[in-house]
Structure 1
Amino acid sequence: MRRRFVFLLMKLALVLDFLADLAAHNHKAWMDEHRARYHAARAEYAAFVEELLRLASAELEPDLRGLRATDLMFRINKNDRSQLDPEPYKRHMGAGFKPGGRHAPRAGYFVAVQPGGGTYVGAGRRLPDAAELARIRQEIHYNGPAFHALRQDANLLRHFPQGLEMAQALKTAPKGYDRTDPDIAWLRLKSYFVWQHFPDAEVVRPDFPDRVLAAWQAARPLVDFLNGALD
């Protein structure tokens, strides 16, 4: 199995090389000229995702069984470009590991490969819709001690030292909550997500899949808490 990991990660280095070139030539004409190379890189990333899916369905989330890499991988085309964003393609290849596939309305596990240290492993629910946010906030309000124990768990912070993403939050208290609530900093969040970046040299190491799975396992109690709220 270790030999298979080494093979997969050697191929993952090819994905990093392609994405580095794409970042330097992020326009349709270049992509059209290098379409065959893109498909080759995407196939190698899909093989990496398939191997993670095999591990995750056996050791982390049994309900992932029956899914394929194509159910989990995000498109490389940007769907939400603004007028200030001239680049039509993402600079990474990413996948969301959730029962029901990448777009399922629940918390899950994520991995994205991007050169220059942009590769990240993450878990949780990022930018849920208003109804989902209301459910998560209500669960935190009702079960604050359990939530705080999960977000401060030593194993979680070993893999995600920054803890929950705090960058995106309301400027005031959400509707129905007092701004003096002791949990207001957490109730104001727009995402309930942890992530950690990895330099390229670590991404191509043979133990990278093991590190991804270990990080997801550390985040599983938090993911289960969020899905308990969403379900």
Structure 2
Amino acid sequence: MPLRFSACPMNLALVLAFLRDLAAHNHKAWMDEHRPRYYAARTEYTALVAELLRLAAADLEPGLRGLRPADLMFRINKNDRSQLDPEPYKRNMGAGFKPGGRHSARAGYFVAVQPGGGTYVGAGYRRPAPEELARIRQEIHYSGPTFHALRQNATLLHHFPAGLDQSQALRTAPKGYLRTDPDIEWLRLKSFFVWQHFPDADVVRPDFAARVLEAWQAARPLVAFLNHALE
């Protein structure tokens, strides 16, 4: 039976409008003055997360069952600001769909709404801890052909044309591996993540949730490979 999507689409245009204004006035005084707008935007984004959670728990990741949107949504406040970052708030609203919640030590699925084409849908594991990264590298070393077949899968690349993000990588071979290893290009990675950006016009379409889920489905075998390594 095909999945049924909500008959009452969420108002993501309201989310984009709020985040656009927040980016132009990213300080506490403005947020305090516009707190009702923030709550309204967060309500609409929560509706998107709730719809995706319902669908993903039924057809993508059974381990999501029993979780609430609040277990998946990231805070808009920045918790790791440096002295060079004067902005107290993120410019997006995001969520991580993983069994155990957004911070669990597993690969999973992500969606963040941000105006100006910054909205992205992603899957995999970004910046795993050293011990988790070591397990993933070991699995690639042991099961190279399987890994390469997954990352080069035509359905995955249809939704994520850039493939695995290679922007975060070691400059040399990780400890325990030779620089001449045939898989060294991939063993050097520090994240194993695919993502695709969406323009604002696509975000406000009534089928946006369906497109997110379709992209996640394409990444499901890769996510399963990463989680198998972690287990």
TM-score between both structures, scaled by the size of structure 1 = 0.97
> Quick one: distance in 2 between partners of 1:126 and 1:90?
18
State the match for 1:42 in structure 2: 42
Describe the superposition over 1:148-200 as per-residue Cα deviations: whole angstroms up to 9, x where unpaired: 00000000000000000000100000000000101001000000000000000
Q: Does residue 93 in structure 1 map to residue 96 in structure 2?
A: no
* Aligned-partner SS, 2:7: helix
Deviation of 1:2 after TM superposition, in Å, equals 5.7
Runs of 4+ in 1 over 6 A off after TM superposition: none
State the match for 2:137 in structure 1: 137
Q: 35-44 or 164-173: which moved more?
A: 35-44
Q: Does residue 65 in structure 1 map to residue 65 in structure 2?
A: yes
> Quick one: distance in 2 between partners of 1:112 and 1:69?
14
Distance 1:212 1:93, change over 3 A: same
**Unpaired segments ≥5 residues, structure 2:** none
State the match for 2:52 in structure 1: 52
TM-score between both structures, scaled by the size of structure 2 = 0.97
**One-letter amino acid matched to 2:91:** R
**One-letter amino acid matched to 1:82:** S
Provide the identity percentage.
79
Deviation of 1:4 after TM superposition, in Å, equals 2.2
State the match for 1:220 in structure 2: 220
State the match for 2:7 in structure 1: 4
* Aligned-partner SS, 2:91: coil
Distance 1:3 1:222, change over 3 A: closer
Contact 1:2 1:206 in 2 (8 A): no
State the match for 1:110 in structure 2: 110
**One-letter amino acid matched to 1:20:** R
Aligned ranges 1:6-21 → 2 under 5 Å: 7-8=9-10, 11-21=11-21
Q: Which has the higher helix share?
A: 1
Q: Does residue 186 in structure 1 map to residue 186 in structure 2?
A: yes
Describe the superposition over 1:34-89 as per-residue Cα deviations: whole angstroms up to 9, x where unpaired: 11111111111101100110011111111111111000000000111111111100
> Quick one: distance in 1 between partners of 2:212 and 2:102?
17
Describe the superposition over 1:112-169 as per-residue Cα deviations: whole angstroms up to 9, x where unpaired: 0000000000000000010000000000000000000000000000000000000010
Contact 1:76 1:92 in 2 (8 A): yes
Number of aligned residues: 228
State the match for 1:155 in structure 2: 155
Contact 2:119 2:198 in 1 (8 A): yes
Contact 1:94 1:113 in 2 (8 A): yes
Describe the superposition over 1:91-110 as per-residue Cα deviations: whole angstroms up to 9, x where unpaired: 00000001100001000000
**One-letter amino acid matched to 2:37:** R
Distance 1:199 1:180, change over 3 A: same
State the match for 1:119 in structure 2: 119
**One-letter amino acid matched to 1:176:** G
Q: CA RMSD in A?
A: 0.9
> Quick one: distance in 1 between partners of 2:209 and 2:132?
30
* Aligned-partner SS, 2:165: coil
> Quick one: distance in 1 between partners of 2:6 and 2:58?
19
**Unpaired segments ≥5 residues, structure 1:** none
**One-letter amino acid matched to 2:28:** K
> Quick one: distance in 2 between partners of 1:44 and 1:218?
26
